[in-house]
Amino acid sequence: MTALGKLFRTTAFKLSLAFLVLSAIGAGLVLTVVAWQVEALVDEETARTIEAEATGLAEQYGQGGIRQLGLVIEARSREPGSSLYLLTDYAGQPLAGNVARLPQGVLDRPGFVETQYETVGETTNDRHALAKIFLLPSGFRLLVGHDLRDRARIGGVMVHALAISLIFLAALGALGGLFVARRVLRRIDAMSNSAQAIMAGDMSQRLAVIGSGDELDRLALNLNEMLGRIDELMAGLREVTDNIAHDLRTPLTRLRNHAEAALRLEGDKSDYRAALERTIEESDGLIKVFNALLMIARAEAGTERAGMSEFDLGQAARGIADLYEPVADEAGVALHVDIEPGLRIMGNRELIGQTIANLLDNALKYGAPTPSEPRALLPVSSSSVQEKSDAVAAPGAAPADVALSVRRVGAGIEVAVADHGPGIAAADRLRVFGRFVRLEGARSRPGSGLGLSLASAVARMHGGAVRLADNGPGLRVVLALPARPATLSEAAIPRLEPPR
Amino acid sequence: MSSMRILIIEDDRDAAAYLVKAFREVGHVADHAADGLDGYDLAREGAYDVAIVDRMLPRMDGLSLIGALRAQNVETPVLILSALGQVDDRVKGLRAGGDDYLAKPYAFSELLARVEVLARRRPKGASEETTYRLGDLELDRLSHKVVRAGEEIILQPREFRLLEYLMQHAGKVVTRTMLLEHVWDYHFDPQTNVIDVHVSRLRAKIDRDFDTPLLHTIRGAGYMIRDSAR
């Protein structure tokens, strides 16, 4: 039952059944109309024959009166397959012809009539004829008629044709429905098997796409895209957990060591105080890293979307520049600000502000021309770094300056932070977006290695991107954002509520 | 500093006990409710200066509690304390009727500073004065003029707002994040000591040429402007 029951419940089966019923009704209607038309045609033909015979008989009557008419009728009646004739006198007594009996009163009304009849020597009464009655002088009556067997036969042929065509229709419909149902069913079953495998934990599985471009293919493509997105989010989540496990372990260990050292301490109150203060400082650093990680993860998942509003990006950037201006001043760095007015975007002002702050912070920290601290990853061959270092190591190098600009570029807005520091070697430019990646020169300075990761996550959340470029010499970080709201497809990402 | 009545609605008993003890140590009166409904009853009956409400509470969650209090015209300032510290969580909290929002984990000095500033807000209209005076320092909020001992001090707009916020809360500790929130309208932790640099610039303008310093650094907490001559 199950396989058959499943088939009966499928949409394909129901659809083919409906089509079958509809086409049967259609075929029946067509055949009925054709039958009607043919019958009308037969009737017309019969009537014309009757009229022609009557004309002939009228001529005979004109020539030889009732006697000759009687003789002609007798003669014609005996011919095989002849028409029907009946000649009666004024009292209704038959004088000549091959019709033995008629229903009462048929002969009373002249003109065409459809009637039952019996021929001479027959007893059946289900013979039907189309006949015309003529009134002759002196009360004689003449009936000329034609059997309707042909018409009935045509009707029979039609019914037969209908029956046969219905059988063919049913067979074809059932086969077609079965074929479609099986084909569609098999693909849907395959999809649901894949889905089960994915649910069981094999996230690498994808739904089969056969390349026909039909609805099922499109569905599979869309679902695959969704699975890809889920996969990405899960990978991000995994990365965060891995990072928390690996990179928070070091500061946690340090924190624990401080506390232990304080316990072993044999000093006075102020020593304990100092130890505790260091412990708190250490834990504050941890909290900061933790918050940054969370913020990156949430920006990547698109869950900060609720905080989106329209705001003036230039003004926000100016606010941040204003915040950092004294810091730059103190560090002896000239901060140039170049902001185009009226650049509004739809976004999370808080996150974008923080991103710009991070970029400025980086530029102020690492952007000074200090060749002793080139920014490069440890394993990278030092040649490219060396070049850069040489370029800025020249005595009397350009005074430290950092430029912040916000400009419309094409359909988007670009926020650029440029410095004249040692820059980042082209080989490292992709790597620095990874979480906790800190280049060699930066390791000795405070920072978490999360700034660019956050920038990149925030940019992507807004449908933009971050790119690193050579500022010849130095680094130019460009945060490119679309001027209009983030794309619809991204807005459709469901919100992930944090667990309570 | 005058003593305040503080209501702590927090289901974590350790955290609550720590807060009650810490507030008492600095001279305030603190009560504790362990769930949303008890907290609601206490907040409605007692005349508290500030309520500290955890967002996730048994029996009635923090945001509903605040909504219910506001519906009953209880205008006690509320500080929301929450493990959910992201931007939109904060927006949700403030929209629900909270007056301030602090993410866990927090420093007690930060919480104390915020609570004291919140309590001060109560008498409406008090902060609507157009001129703030502190010792020989005078700030006119309408003309944006700052005068100390008869001498006009020229401040940048941002410096003016910094001083304005400090003077509005004269005698209270104001933390770096509070300054960032109210003067720059950002809620993140700046990586470097950006706020310190701004404050030291302001200090250079208002204190350097005078005998009595007004702007003080409170170690481990933030800043305070007060007339130490008194």
Q: Is A183 inside a domain boundary?
A: no
Chain B positions contacting chain A at CB under 8 Å are 56, 84-88, 91-92, 103, 105, 107, 158, 180, 184-194, 197-198, 201, 220
Q: Where in chain B is the domain with CATH 1.10.10.10?
A: 129-225
Give, rounded to a whole angstrom, the gap between the first and last alpha carbons of chain B: 14
Whether residue A358 and residue B191 make contact (CB cut-off 8 A), yes or no, is yes
A145: domain CATH number?
3.30.450
Is cis: bond before A326, omega within 30 of 0? no
**Average pLDDT, integer, range A483-495:** 47
Q: What amino acid is encoded at A393 in this protein?
A: A
Residue among A224, A463, A266, A478 at smallest CA distance from A355: A478
Distance CA A36, CA A114 (A): 17
pTM over 0.90? The answer is no
| pLDDT level of residue A485 (50, 70, 90 thresholds) | very low
Counted across chains A and B, CB pairs separated by less than 8 A come out at 71
**Does residue B152 contact residue B164 with C-beta atoms inside 8 Å?**
no
Residue among A138, A92, A144 at smallest CA distance from A115: A144
Q: Which of residues 434-463 of A touch B (CB under 8 A)?
A: 446-447, 451
Q: Which of A171-180, A435-444, B146-155 has the lowest mean pLDDT?
A: A435-444
The residue range of the domain holding A373 is 306-491
Higher pLDDT: B111 or A498? It is B111
Residue B92 C-alpha, separation from nearest chain A C-alpha, in angstroms: 9
**C-alpha to C-alpha distances, A93 to A88, A100, A139, A142, B213, nearest whole angstrom:** 5, 11, 11, 11, 151
A85 strand-pairing partners: A144
What are the tens digits of pLDDT across the range A78-105? 887 778 888 888 877 888 888 877 877 7
Q: Where in chain B is the domain with CATH 3.40.50.2300?
A: 5-120
Whether residue B190 and residue A350 make contact (CB cut-off 8 A), yes or no, is no
pLDDT in tens, chain B (230 residues): 578 899 999 988 888 999 999 999 989 989 998 888 888 888 888 788 899 998 888 888 888 889 888 888 888 899 998 887 666 778 888 888 888 888 888 888 889 999 988 876 555 545 567 888 888 888 888 888 888 888 888 888 888 999 999 988 888 889 888 899 888 888 877 767 888 889 999 998 888 888 888 888 888 788 998 887 54
Reply yes or no on whether the pLDDT at A495 is more than 50: no
What are the tens digits of pLDDT across the range A247-256? 777 778 888 8
Q: Note the pLDDT of residue B120.
A: 61
Please count the structural domains in chain A. 2
Picking from A114, A137, A154, the residue at the C-terminal end of a domain is A154
Higher pLDDT: A492 or A196? It is A196
Reply yes or no on whether the pLDDT at A393 is more than 50: no
**Tokens 């934990």, located at residue:** A201
Q: Note the pLDDT of residue A471.
A: 76
Please state, as a whole number, how many other Cβ atoms lie within 10 Å of the Cβ of residue A482: 17
Residue in B191, B195, B219 to test binding to A, most A beta-carbons within 10 Å? B191
A354: domain CATH number?
3.30.565.10
| pLDDT level of residue A210 (50, 70, 90 thresholds) | confident
What are the tens digits of pLDDT across the range A319-340? 888 888 888 888 888 888 898 8
Picking from A120, A154, A188, the residue at the C-terminal end of a domain is A154
Q: How far is CA A186 from the centre of its chain?
A: 20
**Does residue A164 contact residue A144 with C-beta atoms inside 8 Å?**
no
Burial string for B12-28 (b: 16+ CB within 10 Å, else e) reads eeeebeebbeebeeeeb
Residue B188 structure tokens? 């993140």
Picking from A136, A154, A172, the residue at the C-terminal end of a domain is A154
Q: Using a CB-CB distance cutoff of 8 angstroms, which residues of chain A are in contact with residue B193?
A: 327
| pLDDT level of residue A7 (50, 70, 90 thresholds) | low
Residue A203 C-alpha, separation from nearest chain B C-alpha, in angstroms: 30
ipTM above 0.85, yes or no: no
Residue among B196, B203, B159 at smallest CA distance from B177: B196
CATH topology classification for B129-225: Arc Repressor Mutant, subunit A (1.10.10)
CATH superfamily, with its number, for domain B5-120:
Response regulator (3.40.50.2300)
Residue in A325, A365, A462 to test binding to B, most B beta-carbons within 10 Å? A325
What is the three-state SS of A144-167?
A: EEEECHHHHHHHHHHHHHHHHHHH
Give me the torsion for CA of A221, A226, A230, A232, rounded to 10°: 60
Q: Is A406 inside a domain boundary?
A: yes
